Amino acid sequence: MASSLSDEELMKRYQSGDEAAFEEIYSRYGKKIYGFLMRRLGQPDDCAELFQETFLRLHKGRSLYRPEMPFKAWVYTIANTLIRDRLRTKVRSGASQLLGGEENSIAEVIPDGRYKLLFFKESLAKLTDDQREAIILSRLQGLRYEEIARVMGRSTEAVNQLIQRAMHHLRECIDES
């Protein structure tokens, strides 16, 4: 029954105290949110912490949710805000390293397919934070431009431009290789 309900309907039920609705929301979005965090941060410890905080804020803020707002954009906004806060903190402390240290050296990579992944990570890391955020939300998380605009607090046109610039940059990186 719960699996046939929309995300918005599930959230309405959760606001009314239906714990099973939360379980279904968690089932639908748990892996997606964790994957989003990993793609943006790349550090499992940070991701685990922010994953828990995302769902804790969803729980604490459930009374603030408005059903006319798409739930998917709302939950990604929570996660994205936590990511931005974490990145600001890391920049301030001088520890803003998004990719794992041992994977950064191409000389250490064995040509077993990991090179393509490494190349993609390095190309993605060269994008601006906003471009990387938009491309991850669009291409890897499957959000529509309107949803990304809500998550990022931008216009749909601005999101479109960010994604176009990011794709252009990624194509240039591929052409150079």
Instruction: Identify the pLDDT of residue 149.
Output: 93
Contacts of 31 (CB under 8 A, 6+ apart): none
Instruction: Identify the pLDDT of residue 109.
Output: 36
Instruction: Identify the pLDDT of residue 34.
Output: 95
DSSP letters of 28-63?
HHHHHHHHHHHHHH--HHHHHHHHHHHHHHHHHTGG
Q: Please say whether the beta carbons of 6 and 19 come within 8 A.
A: no
d(CA 39, CA 50): 13
Instruction: Identify the pLDDT of residue 102.
Output: 40
Q: Which residues of the chain have pLDDT under 50?
A: 95-112
Instruction: Identify the pLDDT of residue 118.
Output: 66
pTM of this prediction exceeds 0.85: no
State pLDDT tens for residues 1-16. Answer: 567 899 999 999 999 9
State pLDDT tens for residues 63-84. Answer: 999 988 899 999 999 999 999 8
